[in-house]
Amino acid sequence: MKPFGYVAAKDSEHAVALLAEYGQGAKVLAGGTDLLADMKFTPHPPPEVVVDISRAADLKGIALTDAGLRIGALTTHSEIVHSAVVHQVAPALADAAVVIGAVQTRNLGTIGGNLMTCVPSMDSGPTLLAFEALVTIAGPSGRRTIPLSDLFVAPRKTSLAVGELLVEVIVPKANLYKPTAFQKFGLRKGQALALVNAAASFWTSEGLFSEPRIALGAVAPTVIRAPKAEAYLSGRPVSEEAMAEAGRIAATEAKPITDFRASADYRRDLVAVLVKRALAGAWDRATPNQKELAS
């Protein structure tokens, strides 16, 4: 690796101060699994200083708060997989976390890092988008909370300004327990990048889809929602056919590319299948009570 400076932040406040001090020259290290892999073989010059936030205790942890489920940006994928509260209120987050990398990378990699790397195939993104998650960003002028969808700008580019830091992800209280499922398809079972991933969530009201949310990964420059498919489902009776049709509509909303892993056509086909499965998975997750209301 090329030489760089290093400074460890004690907490988020210290981290923000350090980011202000170093400005453009700083790179944030959370879990390091993406940053180090990138820095090792990149032809680009190294950052002036790596700001290691991995010791900032206030950025860790999973807890239920007044706002909803709060996941600190430094929470590792393994911690999400093993979190009892996640399994209780938003189990799809664990489904998405358990397919990221391998055990070793899940033990190091963080949810904040996964989001901030902002690659289209990230596995954390679709489920959180389906949950309409919020993210809190700390900066020199204080904190602000924005919808997660406003974080993603382009591949490897977020809307954070220089000196800002992602501190937490919040699943809003209204969406806790919302039946949600995540689906991923890679070239292997283990340690694979998603060719396509997808998440779907919906409430049911008197047998009808209510507030359906569909999110897709690896088929556009960023993780995206599929608004047309959502609109199609909204207010329609819950049925397998509707789920399949929503998948087909979502496939028209995807803008996949052809690369050495898969062709665009193949990815579009996958979108249709994975969206259908995600919707069916969410339906499986609906409590008997919810299903009863629906039928």
Phi and psi dihedrals of 274, rounded to 5? -70, -35
d(CA 123, CA 119) in angstroms, rounded, equals 9
Please choose, out of 28-36, 124-132, 152-160, 280-288, the segment that lies near another protein by the rule CB under 8 A: 28-36
User: CB neighbours of 102 closer than 8 A, spacing ≥ 6?
Assistant: 190, 191
Please choose, out of 59-67, 95-103, 158-166, 250-258, the segment that lies near another protein by the rule CB under 8 A: 95-103
CB of 208 to another protein, least distance (A): 37
Contact in structure between 211 and 202 (CB atoms under 8 Å): yes
């609109």: which residue's tokens? Answer: 231
d(CA 244, CA 278) in angstroms, rounded, equals 10
The only residue of 15, 16, 50, 93 in contact with another protein, by rule CB under 8 A: 50
Burial class (CB in 10 A: 0-12, 13-18, 19+), 295: exposed
Nearer to another protein, 7 or 280 (CB): 7
d(CA 214, CA 285) in angstroms, rounded, equals 16
Nearer to another protein, 25 or 221 (CB): 25
The only residue of 84, 102, 206, 260 in contact with another protein, by rule CB under 8 A: 102
Q: Applying CB under 8 A, does 44 fall inside the site for another protein?
A: no
Q: Applying CB under 8 A, does 75 fall inside the site for another protein?
A: no
User: CB neighbours of 280 closer than 8 A, spacing ≥ 6?
Assistant: 181, 240, 243
Nearer to another protein, 80 or 272 (CB): 80
Nearer to another protein, 22 or 203 (CB): 22
Radius of gyration from C-alpha coordinates of the chain: 19
Q: Applying CB under 8 A, does 8 fall inside the site for another protein?
A: yes
The only residue of 64, 108, 244, 264 in contact with another protein, by rule CB under 8 A: 108
Report CA torsion sign: 231, 237, 239, 242.
Answer: negative
Please choose, out of 4-12, 86-94, 138-146, 254-262, the segment that lies near another protein by the rule CB under 8 A: 4-12
Element (H, E) at 11: none
Q: Applying CB under 8 A, does 57 fall inside the site for another protein?
A: no
CB atoms under 10 Å from CB of 61, counted, come to 14
Residues 153-192 that bind another protein (CB under 8 A): 189-191
Q: Applying CB under 8 A, does 263 fall inside the site for another protein?
A: no
Q: How many residues of this chain interact with another protein, rule: CB under 8 A? A: 36
- 295: which DSSP letter? -
CB of 88 to another protein, least distance (A): 20
Q: Which residues contribute to the site for another protein (CB under 8 A)?
A: 1-8, 10, 18, 29, 32-33, 36-37, 39-41, 43, 46, 49-50, 52, 54-55, 78, 101-105, 107-108, 189-191
